[in-house]
């Protein structure tokens, strides 16, 4: 439950900070449009997770007792997630969008439990290339090029 509350707050801060940038429209989104949408989606997902946890606490278990989770494991993951996103935000300008989205995806995949480096690398590469294609080429959103220029 603590993780859902922390993610909700993180989404709220993201959404509020995105309002400092032009939002644009659906046809011509501005630089604040995507962070606002992601912040709102994160708040919605965190609220849904919180409701699911609350419902699970009030509903008796149908099967035997579940294996207990390690104490503090979810909280640590949330903190690492927020730290990775904060570091990615700080490095976005100097490194650029494509390298930073690749590194962020690589770190988050490892954080979420994927142990194979090859799988993490391929997924991160595909997602950063797809993001470049959709946001920069298709939607024409100007994103930071960084030291690499793309």
Same domain (yes/no): 48, 79: no
Alpha carbon distance 22, 29 (integer Å): 8
38 neighbors 88 (Cβ within 8 angstroms): no
Q: What is the mean pLDDT of each run of 10 residues along the chain (150 residues)?
A: 82 89 84 86 88 78 53 72 85 87 90 84 92 85 75
- Partnered with residue 29 across adjacent β-strands are 24
Instruction: Point out the domain boundary residue: 22, 51, 68.
Output: 68
Compute the chain's Rg from CA coordinates: 18
Same domain (yes/no): 78, 148: yes
Q: What is the pLDDT of residue 50?
A: 84
Instruction: Point out the domain boundary residue: 12, 41, 68.
Output: 68
Domain with 104 in it = 72-150
- Partnered with residue 24 across adjacent β-strands are 29
Task: Residue 139: name the closest of 26, 16, 52 by CA.
Answer: 26
Same domain (yes/no): 50, 91: no
Same domain (yes/no): 52, 116: no
Same domain (yes/no): 48, 5: yes
For the chain, the domain total comes to 2
Q: What is the pLDDT of residue 134?
A: 87
pTM score, whole prediction: 0.57
Instruction: Point out the domain boundary residue: 17, 41, 68.
Output: 68
Helix %, strand %, coil % of the chain (to 5): 70, 0, 30
């Amino acid at each position: 439950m603590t993780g859902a509350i922390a993610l909700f707050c993180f989404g709220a801060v993201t959404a509020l900070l995105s309002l400092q940038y032009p939002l644009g429209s659906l046809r011509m989104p501005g630089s604040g449009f995507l962070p606002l949408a992601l912040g709102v989606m994160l708040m919605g997902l965190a609220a849904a997770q919180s409701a699911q946890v609350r419902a699970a606490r009030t509903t008796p278990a149908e099967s035997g007792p579940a294996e207990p989770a390690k104490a503090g494991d979810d909280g640590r993951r949330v903190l690492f997630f927020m730290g990775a996103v904060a570091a990615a935000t700080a490095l976005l300008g100097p490194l650029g969008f494509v390298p930073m989205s690749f590194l962020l995806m690589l770190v988050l995949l490892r954080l979420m439990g994927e142990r194979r480096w090859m799988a993490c690398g391929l997924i991160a590469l595909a997602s950063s290339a797809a993001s470049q294609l959709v946001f920069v080429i298709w939607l024409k959103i100007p994103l930071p090029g960084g030291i690499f220029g793309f």
